[in-house]
Amino acid sequence: MTSYNPLNGYWTASNYDLVTTILRSQWGYTGLVMSDWWAEGNDRGGAGSTKHVAAMVRAQNDVFMVVTDPEHNSGGDDLTAALTEGCLTRGELQRSAANICRFLLQTPAFRRSIGRTSALDDQMEAMAEQDMQQAAQNGLPLTLRDGTAIDIAAIDNGYRRTTAFRVTAAEGGSYTLHLRCRAMPGNSPLAQIPVSVFAGRAFLKTMTITGAQTDWCDFSVGLPALNTGDEFFLRFYFGQSGMELSAVTLKK
């Protein structure tokens, strides 16, 4: 990760000498490089801006953090304009894409996808089994039918806290969990506040807000298809404190 500060006239996220000449060429680093959250970049002699992403790509800073909607360029970056004007090449974009793919191919997640596990995977498997045993002992009963609402007071949203519900499907079908939340006052605007949802041992989704999102916002995640009478554990895990819930409902 590159830092927020400038060095020798360039913000580090767009500093070619730092990221390519030293890190990659002299030190032999072959992985991906990402910016710090909403870091600035600049061209020689120019002012720093979060919109100067083309300069970051030229420096081999491969990932810009964070963009709400990359498909529609919600950050208003200059990539398209730089390509059109010839200030950035398609090859430079492909180089960053290759850095990202090379990194992904070396991750434990990819190795697991091709059947290569490690001692760490065995440890994680044992931890997952322990989580399921705790859910079986402490899971709160919940009868599931269209429109079922979960009591917010029953969900522990503290730091690294898990709440499990022992769900019985009174009505089979395809359900979607709807969650409404916001950041509590007092959080840093840059804080990342996630909640992860699991059905049994299957991870469904992580929903993350920032400390600046103090207005109510809505998330949804689909559950596996259920038959009447099916039972499973629905679990919520809060990786950070600071999220306030107003409603959690399950609808067909």
E strand or H helix at 210, and its extent? strand 202-210
Query: Of the residues 17, 36, 78, 218, which is catalytic?
Result: 36
DSSP state of 80: H
Question: Concatenated DSSP letters for 99-166?
Answer: HHHHHHHTSHHHHHHTT---HHHHHHHHHHHHHHHHHHHHPEEEEE-TTEE--GGGS--STTEEEEEE
Active site residue 36: yes
Q: What is the rounded CA–CA span in Å between residue 193 and residue 190?
A: 10
- Report which of 186, 180, 151 is spatially closest to residue 165, judged by C-alpha positions: 151
Q: What is the rounded CA–CA span in Å between residue 45 and residue 72?
A: 29
Q: What is the rounded CA–CA span in Å between residue 183 and residue 163?
A: 19
Q: How many CB atoms lie within 10 A of CB 241?
A: 14
Residues identified as active-site: 36
